[in-house]
C-alpha cells in the first residue's frame, strides 16, 4: 500500500492524479499506524517550511516519519522538511538529509524568484533516475532549495547550483514536482514505486 501524507499543505490532488495515471493504489492519511504499515510513503507539499513543520508536529508525524523503513519520497516542501533546517521561517526540520535549505539567490539578477517553470536536472544517481536522461526537463515552483551535500543525487543550476534531489537510506526527495513533469516525472514516480 502507498500512503500519501495528508498534513494540510495542499498539492495532494496533483500527486493523487499522478498515482492514478501510474495505476497505483494509495490512501491519503495522517494516521501514524497506517504510515507504519505502508509499503511506500509520499510526503508532498506546497507552502511555507515553518508552518508545514508545525502541521507535522500537531499530528505527531515529526516523530513517525524518521522511523519509517519503507521507501519514502518527499516532494518540494516535503523534501525540504526532510533536511536539517530551513531559512524559511527559521524552521528546524526532520534532519534526515544532511543539508540546510536556503533562499535562492541567483548570481544573475535577471533570474526571478520564485524559480517557476521547466529546468534541467543533471548528475543523476540512484535507481530513482533509471531510464531518465541527463539534462531532462522537470517542473519547479520554489524560492528555497537544499544546498549541495553528500546526499545530493541530482542538481539544477539556477544562477548557482542546488540539490534537485536527495537520497539517504530509504529516504528520497525531489525539489521539483515529478507529478507535474510530464513523461520524465512519470518515469521518476514509476521508479519510486518499484524501488527495492
Question: Which amino acids are annotated catalytic?
Answer: 76, 177, 179
CA angle 146, 22, 37 (to 5 degrees): 70
Cis omega (within 30 of 0) for bond into 114:
yes
Q: Cell 499506524 identifies what position? A: 33
Longest alpha-carbon distance in the chain: 48
Give CA–CA dist 2/39, Å, rounded. Answer: 6
Edge-to-edge strand order for the sheet containing 161-168?
A: 26-29, 2-5, 40-43, 72-75, 171-174, 161-168, 152-157
Nearest to 85 by CA among 72, 74, 99, 73: 99
Amino acid at each position: 500500500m502507498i500512503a500519501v501524507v495528508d498534513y494540510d499543505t495542499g498539492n495532494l490532488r496533483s500527486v493523487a492524479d499522478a498515482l492514478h495515471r501510474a495505476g497505483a493504489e494509495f490512501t491519503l492519511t495522517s494516521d501514524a499506524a497506517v504510515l507504519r504499515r505502508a509499503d511506500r510513503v509520499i510526503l508532498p507539499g506546497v507552502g511555507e517550511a515553518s508552518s508545514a513543520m508545525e502541521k507535522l508536529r500537531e499530528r505527531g508525524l515529526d516523530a513517525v516519519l524518521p522511523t519509517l523503513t519503507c521507501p519514502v519520497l518527499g516532494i518540494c516542501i516535503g523534501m525540504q522538511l526532510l533536511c536539517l533546517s530551513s531559512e524559511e521561517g527559521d524552521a528546524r526540520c526532520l534532519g534526515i538529509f544532511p543539508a540546510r535549505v536556503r533562499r535562492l539567490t541567483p548570481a544573475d539578477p535577471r533570474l526571478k524568484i520564485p524559480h517557476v517553470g521547466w529546468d534541467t536536472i543533471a548528475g543523476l544517481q540512484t535507481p530513482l533516475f533509471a531510464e531518465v536522461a541527463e539534462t531532462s526537463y522537470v517542473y519547479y515552483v520554489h524560492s528555497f532549495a537544499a544546498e549541495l551535500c553528500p546526499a545530493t543525487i541530482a542538481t539544477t543550476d539556477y544562477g548557482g547550483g542546488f540539490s534537485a534531489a536527495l537520497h539517504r537510506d530509504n529516504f528520497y526527495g525531489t525539489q521539483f514536482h515529478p507529478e507535474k513533469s510530464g513523461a520524465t516525472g512519470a518515469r521518476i514516480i514509476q521508479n519510486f514505486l518499484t524501488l527495492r
